[in-house]
């Protein structure tokens, strides 16, 4: 069963006056294929999301990518109902979030779903320790558990020694470490992250991405990670959905996304030299099947070899690539067109 299911979700933001009639008019226009700007011009409403269908599996890391205004924050905030959809269904492990009684929804927000924001959203008057402990206090955990869990997460995010500092004494990267620890301290099943690293400098951003991946590898947690950065989406997402004008225009593995670029921006990115070097051979390969033809002169690469390393080996030529496991057994091939380089 999916951890998170969005079914036919549409979200229209309408002006306060004549809310219902304007919303209905906007929805009717959307269903006939009108664009976001046509709808805005005719009804004064913003079509933030239109007919979104998304299933996110348990413990999957799903990156949602799109440019500013494409609907990313709206989508992620619908999941824990910080925003109500205009129509459609939202299910968490099969439970309908939209019809949940108030106390079940409160329980979901306190125990199951955590959020990390781009702006950190820390409590300025609380210390690092108090910020991280916050969710546990709200959960009514006993003092010993709160103290043990808080110390564990202070350490896990590398903030030992800063327990008594206040947010204004910390750098941006350190603040987001607090944000991440606070979110994870409640042991959520789902972590929603809305551009959590976008405000950080490139080096700190890379450190935080690595920290998130290291922490996630030890937890069974579903992550919905919003970003406008393709490289970041490829690094974090085991699966990537691309939003454009409130619609999902692509949804697949990093390999699907780079091998079938859905628009000119992605095509240019894929063809540029800024290749996402951290993609691994096993993520790019097509698994071997009975009718896969393997070339005799294929280049063999290890399944955990990065794309950067592979590209260094092949230079400008492009042989077929055979991916092998730890025992050198062939397990897949990477076809030339996947790397978008002309074959030999």
Ligand X SMILES: Nc1ncnc2c1ncn2[C@@H]1O[C@H](COP(=O)(O)OP(=O)(O)OP(=O)(O)O)[C@@H](O)[C@H]1O
71, 85, 196, 237: which one binds ligand X (CB under 6 A): 71
The kind and range of the H/E element at 153 are helix 143-156
User: Which residues in the 220-249 window bind ligand X by CB under 6 A?
Assistant: 228
Residue position matching structure tokens 């590398």: 158
For residues 134 and 170, the answer to whether their CB atoms sit within 8 Å is no
**Region label for 121, one of left (φ > 0), alpha (ψ between -120 and 50) or beta (otherwise):** left
* CA dist., res. 246 & res. 265, Å (int): 17
* CA dist., res. 53 & res. 251, Å (int): 10
**Pattern of binders to Mg ion over 46-75, x per CB under 5 A?**
---------------------------x--
Q: Applying CB under 5 A, does 5 fall inside the site for Mg ion?
A: no
Minimum distance of ligand X from residue 22's CB (angstroms) = 12
Out of Mg ion, ligand X, none, what residue 209 binds, judged by CB under 5 to 8 A for its kind, is none
Cβ atoms within 10 Å, residue 266: 18
Which range touches ligand X (CB under 6 A), out of 21-29, 69-77, 181-189, 233-241? 69-77
The kind and range of the H/E element at 92 are strand 87-92
Q: Applying CB under 6 A, does 68 fall inside the site for ligand X?
A: yes
The kind and range of the H/E element at 269 are helix 264-271
Quote the tokens at residue 90: 């939202």
Choice between 46 and 149, CB closer to ligand X: 46
Minimum distance of ligand X from residue 72's CB (angstroms) = 4
Out of ligand X, Mg ion, none, what residue 13 binds, judged by CB under 5 to 8 A for its kind, is ligand X
Cβ burial of 199 (10 Å; 0-12, 13-18, 19+) is middle
Q: Applying CB under 6 A, does 16 fall inside the site for ligand X?
A: no
Q: Applying CB under 6 A, does 73 fall inside the site for ligand X?
A: yes
Which range touches ligand X (CB under 6 A), out of 63-71, 173-181, 260-268, 323-331? 63-71
Minimum distance of Mg ion from residue 312's CB (angstroms) = 36
Question: Residues interacting with Mg ion, by CB under 5 A?
Answer: 73
Question: Residues interacting with ligand X, by CB under 6 A?
Answer: 13, 46, 48, 66, 68-74, 228
């Amino acid at each position: 069963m999916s951890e998170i299911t969005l079914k036919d979700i549409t979200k229209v933001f309408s002006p306060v006056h004549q809310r219902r009639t304007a919303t209905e008019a906007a929805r009717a226009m959307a269903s006939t294929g009108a664009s976001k700007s046509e709808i805005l011009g005719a009804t004064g409403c913003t079509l933030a999301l239109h007919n979104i269908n998304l299933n996110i599996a348990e413990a999957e890391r799903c990156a949602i990518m799109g440019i500013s205004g494409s609907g990313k924050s709206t989508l992620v905030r619908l999941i824990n109902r910080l925003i109500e959809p205009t129509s459609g269904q939202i299910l968490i492990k099969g439970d309908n979030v939209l019809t949940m009684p108030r106390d079940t929804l409160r329980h979901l927000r306190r125990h199951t779903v955590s959020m990390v924001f781009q702006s950190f959203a820390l409590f300025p008057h609380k210390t690092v320790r108090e910020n991280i402990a916050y969710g546990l206090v709200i959960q009514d955990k006993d003092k010993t558990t709160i103290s043990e869990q808080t110390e564990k997460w202070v350490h896990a995010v590398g903030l030992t020694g800063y327990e008594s500092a206040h947010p204004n004494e910390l750098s941006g990267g350190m603040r987001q470490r607090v944000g991440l620890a606070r979110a994870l301290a409640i042991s959520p099943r789902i972590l929603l992250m809305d551009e959590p690293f976008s405000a950080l400098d490139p080096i700190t951003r890379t450190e935080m991405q690595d920290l998130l991946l290291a922490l996630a590898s030890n937890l069974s947690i579903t992550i919905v990670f919003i970003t406008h950065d393709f490289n970041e989406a490829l690094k974090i997402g085991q699966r990537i959905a691309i939003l454009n004008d409130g619609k999902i225009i692509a949804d697949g593995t990093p390999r699907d996304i780079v091998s079938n670029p859905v628009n000119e921006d992605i095509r240019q990115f894929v063809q540029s030299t800024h290749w996402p070097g951290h993609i691994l051979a096993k993520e790019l390969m097509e698994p071997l099947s009975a009718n896969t033809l393997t070339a005799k002169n294929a280049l063999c690469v290890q399944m955990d070899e990065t794309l950067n390393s592979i590209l260094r080996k092949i230079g400008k030529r492009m042989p077929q690539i055979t991916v092998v496991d730890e025992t050198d057994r062939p397990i897949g091939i990477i076809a030339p067109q996947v790397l978008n380089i002309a074959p030999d």
